[in-house]
Amino acid sequence: MAASPPEVVIRLRGISNRFGRQVVHDGLDMEVHRGEIFGIVGGSGSGKSVLLRTILGLQVPRAGSVEIGGRDLTRVHGRELRQVKRGYGVTFQHGALFSSLTVAENVELPLREALRLPDEVLAGLADLKVRLVGLPPDAGAKYPAQLSGGMVKRAALARALALDPPLLFLDEPTSGLDPIAANAFDELLLYLQASLRLTVVMVTHDLDSIHRTCNRVGVIVDRTMITDTLAGIVDNPHPWIQEYFRGPRGHLAALAATRAPGGDR
């Protein structure tokens, strides 16, 4: 790594979220650097999804600021907000593909809305994205209900990449996949991140996936976030983090990561 300070793409400052009396985040800070894969980890109910929704601008925090590419999402509106939103792609936990459209139409939708292009070009671009995520050629004509879980995740990724965003958010991209499919998804993510120079933020529970892909990890504990490199976070004395990474599942994942070729990133 170069010695120069990394460029910060996303910066969260003092985020607080509250639902009724339940405080989810209290003064949470987070930074994501350009070109890295950043993992968000936390127990069930610790507010991972709320945090992701806050970063996406779907949820307005009680306090604090969310900057993406230097623009504060809590302050911009209208055109400018739309521009920020075109700069990122999102996949949701269950895919959230539009069930009444085929996969190809799902991928075309953002293009169709953002740009004026002839149908033939749209079809070509959609096909390119469908192939990019490793879906078989006939997948484009299928409806989401006809796809397997792994294919839904890939199709969602294709839609997220439709506008070639430099920034990608993934909500539990490998949940519900068998280990082989999850592994393949990790490899795809690494390939895309390297070849398209993406910055990736992913919420995940999958320790194997964290060990394989993430450069840095942010753990939500006690309503704030502890951020460190993977090697650093594993040695963090916080009891929850110790249990998470050093528990029986954590050992297996660490073992797999050191054994996998080139796994120790």
Residues that bind other proteins (CB under 8 A): 86, 98-100, 111, 114-118, 121, 124-125, 127-129, 131-132, 137-138, 141, 143-146, 161, 163-164, 195-196
> Which residue, 116 or 259, has its beta carbon nearer to other proteins?
116
- In the 8-state DSSP scheme, what is residue 99? T
Q: Using DSSP, state whether 103 is helix, strand or coil.
A: helix
> Which residue, 60 or 114, has its beta carbon nearer to other proteins?
114
Q: How far is the CB of 110 from other proteins (least distance, A)?
A: 9
Q: How far is the CB of 7 from other proteins (least distance, A)?
A: 16
Q: How far is the CB of 214 from other proteins (least distance, A)?
A: 23
193 token code pair = 């991140």
Q: How far is the CB of 175 from other proteins (least distance, A)?
A: 16
Q: Give the distance from CA 74 to its chain's centroid.
A: 20
Are the CB atoms for 50 and 26 separated by under 8 Å?
Answer: no
Q: How far is the CB of 250 from other proteins (least distance, A)?
A: 32
Instruction: Give the residue from 189, 208, 217 showing the smallest Cα distance to 258.
Output: 208
What distances in angstroms separate CA 100 from CA 131, 133, 143, 144, 160, one per listed residue?
21, 21, 7, 8, 18
> Which residue, 147 or 182, has its beta carbon nearer to other proteins?
147
> Which residue, 22 or 195, has its beta carbon nearer to other proteins?
195
> Which residue, 129 or 159, has its beta carbon nearer to other proteins?
129
Residue with tokens 């120079």: 197
Are the CB atoms for 110 and 162 separated by under 8 Å?
Answer: yes
